[in-house]
Structure 1
Amino acid sequence: MTTAQKVTAFIENSGEWKEEMISLRKLFNSTELAEDLKWGVPIYTINNKNVVGMVGFKNHLGIWFHQGVFLKDPKHILVNAQKGKTKALRQVRIEKGDTIDEETILAYTLEAIENCKAGKEVKSEIKKIITPSLLKKALKEDAEFNATFKRLTPGKQREYAEYITTAKQEKTKLKRIEKIVPMVKNGLGLNDKYKNG
């Protein structure tokens, strides 16, 4: 299945936001952006850099500008979904019954493209992985577990380390380690089952 077919299938199954997504897709595809599917949702890129994406939620349709922090936002429509956490991403929220102002969305998209070409980007911080002692012990005791864990991306390693750390009791930590060993040996991340595409 091609990327275009995957995006079409995604939109066809997007329920109440289908019509809005069809309009937005047409708008994004009228620019020089390339259409892709990442994290199971349509993302539009230039030079392999994420520029804008869209996804429907229960109460709103989100249009994400990946480096939206650099947009001028003359209409004051951009929101930071997680203040204090999200540094670069900004979104426009379309609620049921709202009309999408395609002229404004296109203008923001074109500005986002120019910003991307100009190299405007908030670099994500690389967080140090703090491996809990029980996980270190399990890794030391099982060579295959250790080798496959080291081959995981830093993000996946961090997810596993945090999963073990967040358990309050030692027996829960041990149960969690027991649960993740086969996942790690299969090269899976903790949250891979929630990530499509």
Structure 2
Amino acid sequence: MNTKVDDYINNAKKWQDEIIQLRTLLLDCGLTEEFKWRTPCYCFQGNNVVLIGSFAACCTLSFFKGTLLQDANGFLSKPGENSQAVRFFKFTNLAQIQELQPIIKNYIYEAIAIEKVGLKVLFKSNTELEFVEELQIALDNNPALKTAFEALTPGRQRGYNLYFSAPKQTKTRESRIENHIPRILDGKGIHDCVCGLSKKMPTCDGSHKYI
């Protein structure tokens, strides 16, 4: 169990009981608990499998490769029209989770099996700019981040995408995205000034180094 997830639950204004129940299910299935993109993330052998999400109207259980799950009964929803990978359960009360517990576990075990055999989602480019996978997943699972990122100019979006896609390691790409979420939410590009001292606004000229 990850202490950052403990803090996340303790500070949650809604859905505490639901999140605790989902956490128990995920840990019972043998997943490793981490904290990424400011939310509980559950992994299998270092690969992201599921995220717990907390929103105003519901809490969610999002599968990174949800599109590969069978979902014969249509329990899963799409976070957006252009989402190619993520699919999620949506819950509005604890009773729903308790009632669906065996089904939820089956989905989790199927997601683990997908990781064991190394299946990958084949992303298709449906926009001019094809985002690195970790960025697309972060956008799918964080509506506020998605809205803020889409509000950036195409050039700023490309700048972030290039920076996030450069590292070879998934963990490094995820870390870069996590570290730049506040900047994106603030409407700033990766090379924009955030201290207000630059003589070449909005571009950063390094003036902050002399504060």
TM-score scaled to structure 2, two decimals?
A: 0.61
CA distance in 1, matches of 2:105, 2:42: 13
Aligned equivalent of 1:92, options 75, 89, 92: 89
Specify every segment of 5 or more residues in structure 2 that has no aligned partner in the other structure, as ranges: 133-153, 166-176, 190-197
Structure 1 position 75, deviation (Å): 2.7
Structure 1 position 96, deviation (Å): 3.8
- Name the structure 2 match of 1:46: 44
Task: Tell me whether 1:20 sits opposite 2:18 in the alignment.
Answer: yes
Specify every segment of 5 or more residues in structure 1 that has no aligned partner in the other structure, as ranges: 133-148, 165-174, 187-197
CA distance in 2, matches of 1:98, 1:58: 18
Structure 1 position 152, deviation (Å): 4.4
Equivalent residues of 1:59, 1:96 under 8 A apart: no
Runs of 4+ in structure 1 deviating by more than 2 angstroms, as ranges, are: 123-128, 151-156
Task: Tell me whether 1:153 sits opposite 2:152 in the alignment.
Answer: no
**Deviations 1:115-155 (CA, angstroms, capped at 9, x unpaired):** 11111111557559x758xxxxxxxxxxxxxxxx9x94347
CA distance in 2, matches of 1:105, 1:36: 20
**Deviations 1:15-51 (CA, angstroms, capped at 9, x unpaired):** 2200011111111111221100000100100121110
Task: Tell me whether 1:121 sits opposite 2:138 in the alignment.
Answer: no
Equivalent residues of 2:18, 2:94 under 8 A apart: no
Q: How much is the aligned-residue C-alpha RMSD, in angstroms?
A: 3.5
**Deviations 1:65-116 (CA, angstroms, capped at 9, x unpaired):** 00010111133110111112x1111011112465211111111000000011
CA shift in 2, pair 1:131/1:17, >3 Å = closer
Aligned equivalent of 2:76, options 56, 75, 78: 78
- Name the structure 1 match of 2:144: none
Equivalent residues of 2:17, 2:94 under 8 A apart: no
- SS of alignment partner, residue 112 of structure 1: helix
CA shift in 2, pair 1:91/1:180, >3 Å = farther
Instruction: Report 1:105-144 matches (<5 A).
Output: 105-122=104-121, 126-127=130-131, 131=155
Structure ID, larger Rg: 1
TM-score scaled to structure 1, two decimals?
A: 0.64
**Deviations 1:161-192 (CA, angstroms, capped at 9, x unpaired):** x967xxxxxxxxxx9x7245169x88xxxxxx
Aligned residue-pair number: 152
One-letter identity of the residue aligned with 1:99: Q
- SS of alignment partner, residue 63 of structure 1: strand
Percent of pairs with identical residues: 24
Task: Tell me whether 1:181 sits opposite 2:178 in the alignment.
Answer: no
Equivalent residues of 2:18, 2:93 under 8 A apart: no
The higher relative CO (CA closer than 8 Å, separation ≥ 6) is in: 1
